[in-house]
Amino acid sequence: MIDMFERMISVDWSGAATEADSVDLRVATYDELTQQRQLLNRPFTNRRYASWTREAFRRWIVEQLSTDAPRTLIALDFGFGLPWKSDQALFGVTGWRELVRTLAQRYLHSHTARLTAQGINELHQNVGEGPYRFNENRNAFGFYIDQGVSYFRLTELCAPQAISQWYLGSGGTVGFHTITGLAMLNQLLSLREQKQLDFFVWPHDGLVIPNKKHVFVESYPSLAPSLEDYGPCTDDNQRDAWKVLDMLIKRQNDDSIGDLFDIPHIPFGRYENVPLQDQIMFEGWILGIVGERQ
């Protein structure tokens, strides 16, 4: 049984441009006490942050995570992890936290997600190619075979139409989202390690949600039911944030929100001699991908 969240925040993330540029990042919020939900279009009143930038979001979310703030569930639509063994294959480090830290350092040096991915690919020129794909070439499979790293995470194998974290070509992509999102998450984790914040990242910090703490989860708007009424939304990014928020509110109201955190037994896509829990705590899991109730 998961304790009630007093507040919910749903974020439709953007991995475009730089940290200081205005991007199509969208934020929808809900307050359990007032039962009010809203789109937050202006993070701050000063002119510097007239619209969302990732820099503005980081500043704003830190304020929301104070120890005396209402217990908050924060859903963000980027991958919280990369496929199993990518920590060692990409950077020669071990563990999810070190992967996040090292990837964030490269991003802060490169300034954009595209340049970060290109730089990571260059690290692997000695084997011909890197993990990130910038075009439609389906012959670029060498990295995954040679390094023993999957093109998809386990959770993506369960999600119809899911896009690989490695794909940065035309159409819908999540790779840019994930690089920039993990850089943001790294800064929050660093503040947590300095005892300035206290929150829980599911499932990387554990599969069981603790009471009282703020909780970060990975969302996938395509999993959320479509709505007849999108309230104040005027674009698709707002609608994605809004419908994820709506799903979370309804789940909390009917006491089924805990079901979203049930990770089913998966008989495919797993590595030999690796416990399922270890793989999921490294790769992450999309909230709401659950097994059918018997």
pLDDT (tens digit per residue) in 33-42: 999 999 998 7
Three-state secondary-structure class, residue 28: strand
Could you read off the pLDDT of 245-264 as tens digits, one per residue? 999 999 999 999 999 999 99
CB atoms within 10 A of CB 134: 16
How many percent of the chain have pLDDT more than 90?
A: 81
Q: How confident is the model at residue 164 (pLDDT cuts 50, 70, 90)?
A: very high
Question: Residue 123 carries which side chain, given as an amino acid letter?
Answer: L
The pTM of the full predicted model, rounded to 2 decimals, is 0.95
* Cβ contacts of 243-248, under 8 Å, gap ≥ 24: 244/10, 244/12, 244/28, 244/75, 244/77, 244/219, 245/8, 245/9, 245/10, 245/28, 245/29, 245/30, 245/37, 245/75, 246/37, 247/223, 247/288, 248/5, 248/8, 248/10, 248/30, 248/73, 248/75
Exposed, middle or buried: residue 42 (CB in 10 Å: 0-12, 13-18, 19+)? exposed
pLDDT confidence band for 223 (50 / 70 / 90): very high
- Quick check: 48 pLDDT over 80? no
What are the tokens at 153? 């995470």
- pLDDT of res. 50: 67
Q: In what order do the strands lie in the sheet with 199-201?
A: 36-39, 26-31, 7-12, 72-76, 214-218, 199-201
Query: Which pLDDT score is estimated for 207?
Result: 96
Is residue 175 within a helix (H) or strand (E), and if so which, with residue range?
helix 175-193
Confidence at 294, pLDDT banded by 50, 70, 90? very low
